[in-house]
Amino acid sequence: MKNRFTVVVSSCDKYEDLWDPFFRILKAEWPRLEREQIPIILNTEHKTFYLEGLNIKTLQLYDEDEASVWTERLRRTLESIETDYIIHILDDFFLNDKVRDDIIDRCVKWMDDRSGISMFCFKETYVSKNIRDNRYEGFERRPLFGQYKFNCQAALWRRTRLINYLKKNENPWEWEEFGNWRSYRHPFHLFYSHIPGGPRVFPYIYEAEGSTFWESGVYRGKWVLPSVDPVFKMHNITVDYSIRGIISPEEYNSSNSEETVKRKEDAPKWKQAVWFIRPVYCKAKDIIADIRYVLKHIDHFF
């Protein structure tokens, strides 16, 4: 049977220490990859990787130590692929349960039947008010002017459409922000995201440290221990965490830490008033900075 999609794992050469645990877990939690020999492209600069049983290719689009721009490299990778659809995931999305092939196949059929659909995102999107159009079970439509219609969470994309969404000179954060603004020019391109509380297609979201949600295995170059340690132990994978270091909950989510909340509640009234006014002041500064940034990078929006 012809493969309907290619799996694209976005990474970079300096993160090669993640590849062995990532693909070993991917192989275990997604048996279909080995069974059907679904093509996997490791989107990195120059280095290669092999794991028995998986159909992994690296394109070596760049010379060793040659710099690359994220969107340009992803675009060149997508242009080398023949399947109509791709599933895009990142190298630190370590799965903690089985992938839901039934939902993936359902999404492929829905995209076959409706050419206007650009992607199904397999993670909830809480920013902006989504539209429950009840057309596709387990998913809700993103509004035209919603934030993060372009995002790097695990998702099924229409390959040619994604290529057109990529400018050649953006990093992932610029693409998520400015690329999203460019999407407003395409009112008939539809984006769907996972409904909160539904079954996870790619289960890599973790809850730890009380109410803290950890969405990735590495943050700011350091290991997120609540995410990776239980998964690595489950798969008998040993990693030397001292090489990258371990990020603390305070670093990862300092604004929501219990200690910070309690300190604010116990503070004198005048301090609480300052803390109330400060975000307004900071927001105004952010808006001014955003306007300056937009004017400086105006070419990204067209």
Q: Where would I find the H helices in the chain?
A: 19-29, 32-35, 70-79, 101-113, 159-165, 172-174, 180-182, 225-234, 241-244, 249-253, 258-266, 269-296
Does the pLDDT at position 285 exceed 70?
A: no
Q: Quick one: average pLDDT of 224-250?
A: 90
Our separate counts of H helices and E strands in the chain read 12, 12
Is the full-model pTM beyond 0.75? yes
Reported as a single tens digit per residue, the pLDDT across 64-107 is 888 889 999 999 999 999 999 999 999 999 999 999 999 999 99
Position 280 confidence tier, pLDDT thresholds 50, 70, 90: low
- Based on its alpha-carbon atoms, the radius of gyration of the chain, rounded to whole angstroms, reads 21
Report how far residue 177's alpha carbon sits from residue 293's, in angstroms, rounded to the nearest whole number: 12
Confidence of residue 276 (pLDDT cuts 50, 70, 90): low
Arithmetic mean of pLDDT, 222-241: 92
Confidence of residue 254 (pLDDT cuts 50, 70, 90): low
Residue 270 has pLDDT above 60, yes or no: no
> Predicted confidence band at 261 (pLDDT cuts at 50, 70, 90)?
low
Read off the pLDDT of residues 124-159 as tens digits, 9 standing for 90 and up. 887 778 999 999 999 999 998 888 899 999 999 999
At residue 297, the pLDDT reads 62
pLDDT of residue 136: 96
Distance CA 226, CA 256 (A): 17
CA distances from 300 to 67, 102, 114, 175, 191 (A): 21, 37, 29, 9, 21
Average pLDDT value for residue range 115-119: 97
Burial group, residue 19, by CB count within 10 angstroms (0-12, 13-18, 19+):
buried
| pLDDT score for 204 | 87
How sure is the predictor about 211, in pLDDT bands with cuts at 50, 70 and 90?
very low
Helix (H, G, I), strand (E, B) or coil at 294: helix
3-state secondary structure of 87: strand
Partners of 246 in the β-ladder = 223
Question: Please, which residues have CB within 8 angstroms of residue 24's CB and are 6 or more apart in sequence?
Answer: 51, 235, 237
Q: Are strands 139-141 and 40-43 parallel, antiparallel or unpaired?
A: unpaired
